[in-house]
Amino acid sequence: MLTQPDRPAGRGRTVAAGPVKRLAQDLGIPVLQPLTLKTDAAQSELRALRPDLIVVVAYGLLLPPEVLALPRLGCVNVHASLLPRWRGASPIQAAILAGDAETGVSIMQLEAGLDTGPVYATARFGIGADETAGELEARLARLGAETLGSLLEPLLAGQLVPRPQPADGVTYARRISKAEARIDWRESAIAIARRVRAFNPWPVAETSLDGLQLRCFACQPLAGEPRGGETPGAAGVPGQVLASDALGIEVQTGAGRLRLRTVQLPGRQRIAAADFARGRPLLGKVLG
């Protein structure tokens, strides 16, 4: 088993083993954790295993040509998109941000390019209207494992031939940064709702209220006029709180209104937005 080195985790930033390593240890599987695969030492360790096939899942680093050439049958990757759409580091978030109706997994042969290799098989399903990146990742992980499992025997027997990716429809999903989590209330309600879903559980969409960070874990774009005593047809500036009630907090965006449903202040537990609003004079305040 090959996985990245242990990293600091949690509030205390204590160095800890990742879930892949912990599971491998529980199963008695030896684990290698080189800082890079570009050194002779790391490549010698892999070469000593004499692999027939290397399976790569969310490893996070490009494999150098020397490693790609090691296995008799090459290296196979489980990629969380329907290639050639969303090559790159963040295909799950990219699919949600773009409003894609469906996604899936591609079992592909690795080559030197970024997710450019030929594809053995794909499997797909629809993306839920309220599905977060974390929820979608869990479903894709199960689908990827099932799809790869069904292919391993014919792969090892040399019975499968991958097909080249089409030249049309190529898109790239760059690595997500924490800076992208800041909500821009000038965007549409639909775009902000997608951002909230795409960045849950990390890095979590955020805005500010009275100078404090306010994280948003769930929201809902709305249609129709604002409630809570507002003048029919009236709209505030982007980020302005229009109403709050048992359903949540309604905020004006650049196009439409957004209902915040689950929020969190620094050092506090995440709570329903309706509970957060109770007793707070929010009406008319501008977030961000």
Reference 218, options 180, 276, 260, 170; nearest CA is 260
Domain check: are 111 and 160 in the same one?
yes
* Number of domains, the chain: 2
- Domain region containing 90: 34-173
What integer pLDDT is reported at residue 142 of this predicted model? 98
Domain check: are 77 and 203 in the same one?
no
Q: Is 146 helix (H, G, I), strand (E, B) or coil?
A: helix
Domain check: are 103 and 144 in the same one?
yes
Domain check: are 138 and 194 in the same one?
no
Of 111-115, 125-129, 227-231, 253-257, the range with the lowest mean pLDDT is 227-231
Domain check: are 162 and 63 in the same one?
yes
The CATH code of the domain that includes 254 is 3.10.25.10
Quick: pLDDT tens for 60-89.
Answer: 778 999 999 999 999 999 999 999 999 999
- Point out the domain boundary residue: 173, 191, 226: 173
Domain check: are 110 and 155 in the same one?
yes
What integer pLDDT is reported at residue 60 of this predicted model? 79
Rounded to a whole number of angstroms, the distance between the first and last alpha carbons of the chain is: 45
Domain check: are 263 and 166 in the same one?
no
**Cβ-Cβ contacts under 8 Å for 163 (sequence gap 6 or more):** 118, 119, 120
Interval 145-160 mean pLDDT: 96
Interval 201-206 mean pLDDT: 97
- Point out the domain boundary residue: 173, 198, 233: 173
Q: Is 130 helix (H, G, I), strand (E, B) or coil?
A: coil
- Point out the domain boundary residue: 173, 193, 215: 173
**Residue 237: pLDDT over 90:** yes
**Within-domain flag for 283:** no
Tell me, what amino acid is at 230? E
Backbone angles phi, psi at 154, to 5 degrees: -65, -30
Q: Is 61 helix (H, G, I), strand (E, B) or coil?
A: coil
| Predicted structure pTM score | 0.92
**Residue 12: pLDDT over 90:** no
The CATH code of the domain that includes 102 is 3.40.50.170
- The mean of the pLDDT values for the chain is 93
What integer pLDDT is reported at residue 236 of this predicted model? 84
What integer pLDDT is reported at residue 234 of this predicted model? 54
Domain check: are 197 and 138 in the same one?
no
**Within-domain flag for 20:** no
**Within-domain flag for 259:** yes
Query: Hey, what's the torsion of the CAs at 178, 180, 184, 187, to 10 degrees?
Result: -150
